[in-house]
């Protein structure tokens, strides 16, 4: 049962029932009030009629009373037989003796004698008892007798009963209509509630449960049943370079990819497993059927296989890779928070490990993650407090043996951890915005240093600065580089930016534009680690490049193997008008082979390790003196 099904709107139902009861109670109260009012009105009308009739009788009774003619009096009274409500009429003389009487036939003796002056004194407003009125008979201002009329309430009762029946029917109808209207409203409210619930728990793009629903599910899944802890595998999936798809193909393609991934994931895992989208390009699978680690591993690897392929997006085939990390409950974690964080740590490890990898959580990863968090915090501080440093590694011209440039390599001496390799801290910085301040710090310092060493150099020595993907993607990157050149006073031709192939491919549109702007101002551009990335040759033509840097891995194999590739790279670069620099040159044989094969520049431990600024200055001074000395004796030759 899903979260949405578990959270059915029951409040509305209860409220609906309360509403109907409320309406019914209101109808009962108003009916009672109306019935009382009706009874009082009917009785008042009967009393009025009886009073009028008695008054008329009294008017006609003065003469019979004066002449003591009871017969005439009885005759007058007999006429009252035509009025159905008149039960009896009695005429009393001034002394209170009954003078004449009329009574409807069939009355008991008690009923016939009901009409007395004393009984007429009793006034009741709400009652179904007979109404008794007494009217004095007056002659010449003197009271000569009294007429007492007893009106039966039989007619009033039937009138009242009719009214009550009508009222009951009307109330029943009203209740029926009210409950009908209410049930319709209730249905609409339930539907609206259901929709709200759906949107609160579902990712509208992929129709998968969202982050909130995922946590609800997780809490539900981890509950022990019959005292036994369940076995749950949490798999986190992150699309590599999703931002690139968005940036290069547009958000429409990005959305299409997310939908396709959601669909593929659903089809990959078991029916019972729960798939959710928990972030922009992050998905999660809760696998409850994997009973041991190897099954969990199987699920994670299956996910990598099913998603690590090309997807057709808006008519273009786009290669997709994913990183997957998983952890198991209760083996790796005892609660939700640590289960999620351990899967996250495994995911991070998979991401740093390369592409299309599934990593399972291992306890030692926690220590690594803690070290990363610590380094990230301290690195931020080190950048802010200017505690980083740069090592400069020389690059020599193969033909002249002259030092023509240096590569700026970030260095960090941590107060507790000692020297931390850039291979460790640069990726940490790259995982956040920190790389922007790190990159800017290096650029600033490198440009200022380059101005200093070029101040009295015999020949210009350029500086190469490494650029990260995030930096290049940042909207102000081009402007920042130009501003740094301006502030430091370094000639743009003496700055070279090292970009990696994958970085260029991932930022195609943005990259070309920034590169053109920088090239137009004279900044040199070089491709770092050439041959290890996409190696798509077409961009050599479309990008405004100056140089290729052959990756260390190719140089390492030289001169015994790998020559065909290196020869091919050199001749291809030259045919595109690019210069070539080989990095990681460690042995004289490599140097000799590269120089013989037409490589333009050399960088490596053999010709010079990365060194401090002061050491570089010394080296430059030494070289200047050497050049001056050799100029005096013989022309410069190749390095050996």
**Out of 468, 484, 488, 590, the residue judged to bind ligand C2E by CB under 6 A:** 468
User: Among ligand C2E, Ca ion, none, what does residue 423 contact (CB within 5–8 Å per kind)?
Assistant: ligand C2E
Per CB under 5 A, 256 contacts Ca ion: no
Nearer to Ca ion, 273 or 529 (CB): 529
Nearer to ligand C2E, 208 or 499 (CB): 499
Per CB under 5 A, 360 contacts Ca ion: no
Mention every residue, 6+ apart, whose C-beta is less than 8 A from residue 224. Answer: 230
Per CB under 5 A, 496 contacts Ca ion: no
**Out of 422, 497, 499, 623, the residue judged to bind ligand C2E by CB under 6 A:** 422
Per CB under 6 A, 610 contacts ligand C2E: yes
Q: Cα(568)–Cα(575) distance, rounded to whole angstroms?
A: 10
Q: Cα(490)–Cα(481) distance, rounded to whole angstroms?
A: 11
Nearer to ligand C2E, 238 or 528 (CB): 528
Per CB under 6 A, 586 contacts ligand C2E: yes
- Interface map 446-475 toward Ca ion (x if CB under 5 A): --------------------x---------
Per CB under 5 A, 87 contacts Ca ion: no
Mention every residue, 6+ apart, whose C-beta is less than 8 A from residue 347. Answer: 236, 237, 238, 323, 324, 325, 359
The widest CA-to-CA distance across the chain, in whole angstroms, is: 179
Q: Shortest Cβ distance from residue 387 to ligand C2E (Å)?
A: 15
User: Among ligand C2E, Ca ion, none, what does residue 409 contact (CB within 5–8 Å per kind)?
Assistant: ligand C2E
Per CB under 6 A, 421 contacts ligand C2E: yes
Q: Which two tokens stand for residue 216?
A: 């609800």
Number of residues located near ligand C2E, criterion CB under 6 A: 20
- The DSSP line for 498-549 is EEEHHHHHHTHHHHHHHHHHHHHTT-EEEEEEETSS---THHHHHS---EEE
Per CB under 6 A, 418 contacts ligand C2E: no
Q: How far apart are the first and last CA of the chain?
A: 75
Q: Shortest Cβ distance from residue 501 to Ca ion (Å)?
A: 11
Query: What does each C-alpha distance from 290 to 37, 232, 237, 285, 347 come to in angstroms?
Result: 76, 7, 17, 12, 19
Per CB under 6 A, 409 contacts ligand C2E: yes
Per CB under 6 A, 410 contacts ligand C2E: yes
- DSSP code of 228? B
Strands 232-239, 282-287: pairing is: antiparallel
Q: Cα(169)–Cα(342) distance, rounded to whole angstroms?
A: 69
Q: Cα(129)–Cα(240) distance, rounded to whole angstroms?
A: 94
What is the rounded (10 degree) CA torsion for 194, 199, 201, 205? Answer: 140
φ, ψ for residue 69 (rounded to 5)? Answer: -105, 90
Number of residues located near Ca ion, criterion CB under 5 A: 4
Q: Cα(633)–Cα(255) distance, rounded to whole angstroms?
A: 70
Nearer to Ca ion, 307 or 426 (CB): 426
Per CB under 6 A, 393 contacts ligand C2E: yes
Per CB under 6 A, 449 contacts ligand C2E: no
Beta bridge partners of 406: 394, 463
**Out of 277, 392, 584, 594, the residue judged to bind ligand C2E by CB under 6 A:** 584
Q: Shortest Cβ distance from residue 389 to ligand C2E (Å)?
A: 11
- DSSP code of 130? P
Strand extents, DSSP E, 56-127: 86-93, 98-103
> CB under 8 Å, gap of 24 or more: what pairs does 79-85 form?
80/53, 83/53, 84/154, 84/155, 85/46, 85/49, 85/50, 85/151, 85/152, 85/154, 85/155
Q: Shortest Cβ distance from residue 596 to ligand C2E (Å)?
A: 19
Which residues 529-588 are close enough to bind Ca ion by CB under 5 A? Answer: 529
Per CB under 6 A, 464 contacts ligand C2E: no
Per CB under 6 A, 605 contacts ligand C2E: yes
Q: Shortest Cβ distance from residue 438 to ligand C2E (Å)?
A: 7
Helices in 354-421 by DSSP H: which ranges? 363-384
**Out of 248, 276, 296, 466, the residue judged to bind ligand C2E by CB under 6 A:** 466
Of 218-226, 240-248, 594-602, 604-612: span binding ligand C2E (CB under 6 A):
604-612
* Distance of alpha carbon 244 from the chain centroid: 22
Q: Shortest Cβ distance from residue 533 to ligand C2E (Å)?
A: 12
Which residues 326-345 are close enough to bind ligand C2E by CB under 6 A? Answer: none
Which residues 247-306 are close enough to bind ligand C2E by CB under 6 A? Answer: none
φ, ψ for residue 253 (rounded to 5)? Answer: -65, -40
What is the rounded (10 degree) CA torsion for 289, 292, 298, 304? Answer: 80
Nearer to Ca ion, 87 or 529 (CB): 529
Q: Shortest Cβ distance from residue 585 to Ca ion (Å)?
A: 12
Under 8 Å between Cβ of 356 and 324: no
Per CB under 6 A, 604 contacts ligand C2E: yes
**Out of 77, 442, 461, 506, the residue judged to bind ligand C2E by CB under 6 A:** 442
- Interface map 529-548 toward ligand C2E (x if CB under 6 A): x-------------------
Helices in 397-458 by DSSP H: which ranges? 422-430, 434-454
Per CB under 6 A, 608 contacts ligand C2E: no
Nearer to ligand C2E, 264 or 532 (CB): 532
Q: Shortest Cβ distance from residue 506 to Ca ion (Å)?
A: 17
**Short-list 510, 448, 453, CA closest to 484:** 448
Q: Shortest Cβ distance from residue 560 to Ca ion (Å)?
A: 22
Per CB under 5 A, 498 contacts Ca ion: yes
Nearer to Ca ion, 222 or 497 (CB): 497
Q: Which residues bind Ca ion (CB under 5 A)?
A: 466, 498, 528-529
Q: Which residues bind ligand C2E (CB under 6 A)?
A: 393, 409-410, 421-423, 426, 442, 466, 468, 528-529, 552, 583-586, 604-605, 610
């Amino acid at each position: 049962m899903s979260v949405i099904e578990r959270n059915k709107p029951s409040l509305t139902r209860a409220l609906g029932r309360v509403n109907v009861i409320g309406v019914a109670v209101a109808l009962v109260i108003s009916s009672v009030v109306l019935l009382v009012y009706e009874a009082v009105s009917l009785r008042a009308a009967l009393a009025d009629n009886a009073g009028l009739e008695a008054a008329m009788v009294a008017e006609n009774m003065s003469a019979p009373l004066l002449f003591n003619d009871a017969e005439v009096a009885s005759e007058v009274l007999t006429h009252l037989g035509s009025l159905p409500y008149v039960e009896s009429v009695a005429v009393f003389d001034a002394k209170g003796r009954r003078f004449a009487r009329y009574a409807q036939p069939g009355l008991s003796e008690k009923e016939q004698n009901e009409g007395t002056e004393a009984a007429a004194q009793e006034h009741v407003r709400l009652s179904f008892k007979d109404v008794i009125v007494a009217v004095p008979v007056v002659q010449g201002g003197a009271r000569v007798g009294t007429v007492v009329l007893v009106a039966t309430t039989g007619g009033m009762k039937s009138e009242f009963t009719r009214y009550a029946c009508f009222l009951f029917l009307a109330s029943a109808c009203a209740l029926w209509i009210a409950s009908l209207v209410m049930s319709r409203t209730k249905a609409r409210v339930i539907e609206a509630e259901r929709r709200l619930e759906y949107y609160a728990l579902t990712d509208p793009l992929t129709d998968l449960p969202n982050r909130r629903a995922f946590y609800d599910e997780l809490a539900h899944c981890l509950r022990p049943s019959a005292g036994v802890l369940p076995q749950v595998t949490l798999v986190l999936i992150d699309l590599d370079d999703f931002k690139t798809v968005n940036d290069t193909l547009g958000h429409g393609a990005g959305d299409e990819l997310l939908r396709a991934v959601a669909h593929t994931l659903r089809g990959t895992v078991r029916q019972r497993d729960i798939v959710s989208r928990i972030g922009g390009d992050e998905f999660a699978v809760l696998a409850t059927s994997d009973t041991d680690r190897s099954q969990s591993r199987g699920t994670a690897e299956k996910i990598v296989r099913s998603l690590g392929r090309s997807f057709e997006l808006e008519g273009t085939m786009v290669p997709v890779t994913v990183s997957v990390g998983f952890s198991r409950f209760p083996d790796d974690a005892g609660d939700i928070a640590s289960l999620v964080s351990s899967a996250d740590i495994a995911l991070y490890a998979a991401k740093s490990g390369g592409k299309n990898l599934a990593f399972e959580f291992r306890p030692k990863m926690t220590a690594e993650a803690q070290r990363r968090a610590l380094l990230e915090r301290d690195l931020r501080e080190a950048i802010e407090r200017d505690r980083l440093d740069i090592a400069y590694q020389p690059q020599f011209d193969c033909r002249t043996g002259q030092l023509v440039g240096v590569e700026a390599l970030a260095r960090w001496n941590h107060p507790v951890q000692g020297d931390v390799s850039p291979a460790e801290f640069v990726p940490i910085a790259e995982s956040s915005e920190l790389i922007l301040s790190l990159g800017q710090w290096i650029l600033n310092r490198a440009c200022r240093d380059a101005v200093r060493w070029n101040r009295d150099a015999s020949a210009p020595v350029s500086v190469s600065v490494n650029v990260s993907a995030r930096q290049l993607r940042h909207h102000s990157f081009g402007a920042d580089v130009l501003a740094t050149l301006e502030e430091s006073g370094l000639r743009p031709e003496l700055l070279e930016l090292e970009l990696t192939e994958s970085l260029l491919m991932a930022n195609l549109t943005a990259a070309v534009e920034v590169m053109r702007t920088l090239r137009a101002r004279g900044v040199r551009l070089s491709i770092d680690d050439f041959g290890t990335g996409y190696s798509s040759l077409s961009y050599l033509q479309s990008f405004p490049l100056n140089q290729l840097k052959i990756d260390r891995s190719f140089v390492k194999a030289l001169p015994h193997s790998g020559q065909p590739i290196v020869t091919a790279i050199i001749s291809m670069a030259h045919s595109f008008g690019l210069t070539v620099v080989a990095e990681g040159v460690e042995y004289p044989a490599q140097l000799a082979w590269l120089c013989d094969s037409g490589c333009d520049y050399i960088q490596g431990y053999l010709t010079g390790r990365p060194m401090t600024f002061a050491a570089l200055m010394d080296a430059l001074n030494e070289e200047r003196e050497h050049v001056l000395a050799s100029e005096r004796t013989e022309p410069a030759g190749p390095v050996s």
